[in-house]
Amino acid sequence: MAPGPPANRPIVDNRCGFGPAMAEQVRLQLPLRRESARRARLAVEPLRSSIPEPVFAELVLVVSELVSDAVLTRMDGGGDTLGLGVSADGKRLRIEVTAASGSLKAAPSAPAPGEQGWGIYLLKRLGYRWTLENRGEVADLRASKDLRDG
């Protein structure tokens, strides 16, 4: 995986261009450890003012579960880090996760508590548009939600 920002220091950029509107964005690399889900939740906090409150609450939960899914894979011998990017431009919320191939899985139904798959299950249930590509050793998940729909 390409090097990114230090694992404990998210990059917050409220001036980056993102299509026709300006976006606020958080990008970080996280180690695959249990505490990384908490770090991810804290890292998206600067975006709170850019996202309607109900959608922000969803975002925090989804990000936490996506990171937890990758951490569960690490316990089974997956990669060492994952990349997380979240941006909002006033019209659309975007989430990007890059992790070891196979670390993010779409469960056909609700996973059991403690099982992998809650992140994508929540994306589906909460109305996000999403794609997941496993290319070689890397999985790329991209999800988005129209902020005008809440």
How far apart are the two ends of the chain, measured CA to CA in Å? 34
As averages over each run of 10 residues, the pLDDT of the chain (150 residues) reads 47 42 81 92 94 95 94 67 93 94 83 90 95 90 86
Q: Round to whole Å and give the CA distance between 108 and 12.
A: 34
pLDDT of residue 90: 87
Q: Given this model, what pLDDT does residue 88 score?
A: 94
The pLDDT of residue 38 is 96
What is the structure's pLDDT at 105? 82
Domains in the chain with CATH codes: 23-146 (3.30.565.10)
